[in-house]
Chain A
Amino acid sequence: MMARHSPSLLLWIAILATTLASAGCGGGDASKEIETLQSWRATIDLAAEARLHGWVTPRYADQLRDKGRKALSQGDELTSSDQVTPAERDSLSIAGAGLRAALARLDRTGP
């Protein structure tokens, strides 16, 4: 019985896995990246505010700055790639500029 059902079962599992994997991994890279850049801009803005009031240490702010820069460079990489449409490129550029400005504001809070 098992042997008779095995091929169709395996096929079903393969189809399911492929569908899930393509749904989970494919497409939406640009919109996800835009969301990430916007989230990091908000994080860095909050960090700048916290740094300005002395709520967090300069050491910690440096770590967030590094993470923010890493997110920015990943965004820049996608923006300059041919995987995105012109409209997506524009949105990515705007989101990247927002994060760049937030990083500059954090830099201005000093060491």
Chain B
Amino acid sequence: MKKIAEVALGVITGIGGFLEVGSLATSVQGGAEFGFQLGWAVLLGSISLMVLMEASGRLAAVSNRTLVDQLRERFGIRFFLLPLIVGFLVSLLVLSAEIGGVTLALQMATGIRFQLWALPIAFLAWLLLWRGTFGLVEKGASMLGLVSVVFAIGAAALHPRWTSVGAGLLPTPPAHDSARYWYLAVSILGASISPYLIMFYSSGAIEDGWTHDHLGINRVTAVLGNLFGGGLALMVLVVGALVFLPRHIHVDAYEQLALVLTPALSHPGFVFFLATLGITCFGTTLEIALAIAYLLAQGLGWQWSENMRPSQDSRFSTTYSLVILLAAIPILLGVNVLGLTNISMVLTAASLPVTVVPMVLLMNDRDVMGKSVNGVVANVALVALAVMSCAILLAALPLQLLGGG
């Protein structure tokens, strides 16, 4: 019974925590410009995240070490500096975009300019991390994030042709604007497969004291959580396709996004959109700030745990305090949040190889994994993902220049 409750909680956490500023923006943009045709990118992103989360959770449960610990120990500090620096910079950009998402939701709700919300939101996030526990951050934010289920209701209310939605799950070449199509595909992938998520998940497994006994829970949570979460992201794309595409609305500003649910759900659609944007971005703000602190603390050998008092792991808690403040500065200065989101999603996708490629080696190392090394299916999936991430790295700059708008 306890295991069923743990699995259910894990799956709910996966669903409620899936959507955030990047997946909301890129899915609506994808739907608005290419209809259901980019559904495959959402599906591929969800499956990829499923593979990586399962692997990083298994690694943590079996070795009692996080992915970051293993990267540093197995490959040495000189190699580790690469994922450390890349992971830090990209996550900081995404953190800034998430804070921007919360502040824009508040601007649309209150009329007070988003810049003025940057510091209060940063302070609130810091306070929750300072006073809260890992369970509060992970599960509390995800439970509230279930508000995003409104997109599934909105999509159902718009009566899409499900056969057409299904057809979009298979990649097809675009009829127009190829560069933009591939740029959005990479952005959608970046929004789904973020290295910070994998590091956060792996650290969470240690925070929650996972052992071999949790391997089943890890697998079910990773598969179902991402399946349903990805399904929700697909519904965002469907709503964007049905509401914006026929009207020829291209998303140039977050303010346009708040209209997307109104034809289906009228005023509640507007209110729930703002709630979804604000809550999911705030939850992700907490998670990314922690993920960056985990990355630095584990990489540099500091004491770390969100369940400890800040005085017990002062360098860890100082790190998340500083990164929240640092990430709030661009928002305070009035940066274009949609532009920041799109660029950070492409860079996130481009940064994948530094995490994914070493994972292939780690997951096949018997000294680390013992009997739980990758099987054939897991290896094929992980190697395919590593190849795809390298291809994205090569394509990211040209796509940003040609299709970035």
Q: A: which residues have CB within 8 A of B?
A: 20-21, 23-25, 35-36, 38-40, 42-43, 45-47, 50, 53-57, 59-60, 62-64, 67, 71
Contacts and interface: CB of A to CB of B under 8 A. Distances in A.
Main secondary structure of the interface of B (DSSP, over half): helix
B200 to A, nearest CB: 33
Given A36-B250, A50-B262, 16 more contacts: A23-B401, A24-B404, A38-B248, A46-B249, A46-B263, A47-B259, A50-B259, A56-B262, A57-B270, A60-B108, A60-B111, A63-B108, A63-B111, A63-B255, A64-B255, A67-B256
B247 interface: yes
Interface string B244-269: 00011110110110110011001101
Contact of A39 (B250, B259, B266, B270): B250
B120 interface: no
A30 to B, nearest CB: 16
- In order of increasing CB-CB distance, the 9 nearest A-B pairs are A24-B401, A59-B111, A42-B247, A20-B401, A39-B250, A55-B262, A55-B266, A50-B262, A42-B249
Given A55-B266, A63-B108, A36 B401 contact: no
Contact of A56 (B110, B253, B270, B404): B270
A53 B269 CA distance: 13
21 contacts: A20-B402, A23-B401, A24-B402, A36-B250, A39-B250, A46-B247, A46-B259, A50-B259, A50-B262, A53-B266, A55-B262, A55-B269, A59-B109, A60-B108, A60-B111, A60-B270, A63-B111, A63-B255, A64-B255, A64-B256, A64-B259
Interface residues of B, number: 26
Given A56-B262, A56-B270, A62 B111 contact: yes
Contacts of B109: 59-60
Contacts of B258: 56, 60
Contacts of A46: 247, 249, 259, 262-263
A28 to B, nearest CB: 11
Candidate in B107, B110, B262 with the most chain A CB atoms within 10 angstroms: B262
B398 interface: yes
A55 B259 CA distance: 9
B375 to A, nearest CB: 41
A64 B256 CA distance: 7
B136 interface: no
Contacts of B108: 60, 63
A42 B402 CA distance: 25
Interface string B378-405: 0000000000000000000110011010
Contacts of A35: 250
Contacts of A63: 107-108, 111, 255
Given A20-B397, A42-B249, A46-B247, A59 B259 contact: no
A55 B270 contact: yes
A17 B262 CA distance: 43
A59 to B, nearest CB: 4
Contacts of B402: 20, 23-24
A99 to B, nearest CB: 12
Nearest to B402: A24
